[in-house]
Amino acid sequence: MSRIVTIGAAQLGPIAPDESRASAVNRMIELLKQAGDRGCNFVVFPELALTTFFPRYYEEDISKMNHHYEREMPSAETRPLFEAAAERGIGFYLGYAELTPDGHRYNTAILVDETGKITGKYRKVHLPGHSEYDPNRPWQHLEKRYFEPGDLGFGVWRQHGGIIGMAICNDRRWPETYRVMSLKGAEVIVLGYNTPDVNTSAFEPNHLRMFHNHLTMQANAYMNSAFVVGVAKAGMEDGCMLIGGSCIIQPSGEIVSQVSSVDDELITYSADLDLAKMGKETVFNYAKHRRIEHYGTITTQTGVELPPELSEAAE
Ligand code: CDT
């Protein structure tokens, strides 16, 4: 049985605050058509792919932000995306803001199979930024105000002949994200992101934004023997520049396909999932080589207990 899966990374350019769902969905359908023409089995869209990155705006009354959230999936507005994908036999990953019937708010991604059925859901665990208005920032990053940390853990799903795991944006900077999924056998880890090209909480040279974007995904692809597909919403979104750099990374850690724009752009790669299996059976054979019983005791939530002189410095 073939273990080749043709993966599409469907980067989106900016979505204006007043751009309709219908327009965002149409843009994604356009990318799906290209994906169909290029033989894709599976397409990855960005984080919060249906709206502008609204956590950059402060709103005292959170319910005034409700129009950015989805209460059902698919809805009348998003169903055409599901239909266009199913017509072409393409599965997909889609990020969006979720408002549950009992009032919980999550930064969510779903996995959809080639028939248009939702097969998996992930809710972002690592929420960056802050929860109150910060006058010192040129724009806000209020994910902690508008979302709760995800309550579903890092799941994996069997689809397209392989094992797929999902993460969202800031999760990609945390090794635990990948390791938990790889312990469950993940061969393809997919994630969407919205990353401003400036760190507004402390000075950081600009070039590091893209360097860290790729560094985290490439290193973790290798260390967990998995394909990693990272897909941006990119470009100048209402005055905030979002990095692009969407790419497909193979288990060696090498980027095998990368976008060249900060606009709507599809890149594709035919991935041989047996490459992930090979790493899991050799260098990263956990049963054979991983020795957690020799790692020392993890005594606190934040990590290993430090000697007093170091723990003072750490504060
Ligand atoms: N969306 C998201 O998680 N973005 C963050 C930016 C952090 S700046 C507070 C990221 O890790 O890319």
Atom of ligand 1 nearest to the CA of 213: 12
Pocket test for ligand 1, best of 194, 204, 215 (most atoms within 8 A of CB): 194
**Ligand 1 residue neighbourhood (C-beta within 6 Å):** 47, 128-129, 141, 169-170, 173, 193-195
Q: Which domains does the chain have, with CATH numbers?
A: 4-283 (3.60.110.10), 285-315 (no CATH)
Atom of ligand 1 nearest to the CA of 48: 1
- Tell me how far the alpha carbon of residue 231 lies from the centroid of ligand 1, in angstroms: 13
List the catalytic residue out of 40, 70, 124, 247.
Answer: 124
Each residue's pLDDT tens digit, 106-125: 999 999 999 999 999 999 99
Rg of the chain taking only CA atoms, in angstroms? 19
Nearest one of 52, 82, 41, 4 to 240, comparing CA atoms: 52
Each residue's pLDDT tens digit, 184-226: 999 999 999 999 999 988 899 999 999 999 999 999 999 999 9
Amino acid at 285: N
Atom of ligand 1 nearest to the CA of 55: 1
pLDDT of residue 201: 86
pLDDT of residue 314: 36
* Average pLDDT of adjacent 10-residue blocks, the chain of 315 residues: 89 98 98 98 98 98 98 98 98 99 98 98 98 95 98 98 98 98 98 96 93 98 98 98 98 98 98 97 96 80 64 44
Residue 169 appears among annotated catalytic residues = yes
Task: State the burial class of residue 163 (Cβ atoms within 10 Å of its Cβ: 0-12, 13-18, 19+).
Answer: buried
Note the pTM of the prediction, 2 decimals: 0.95
Distance CA 311, CA 306 (A): 5
pLDDT of residue 309: 66
Each residue's pLDDT tens digit, 294-314: 988 766 666 666 666 655 543
Distance CA 96, CA 87 (A): 22
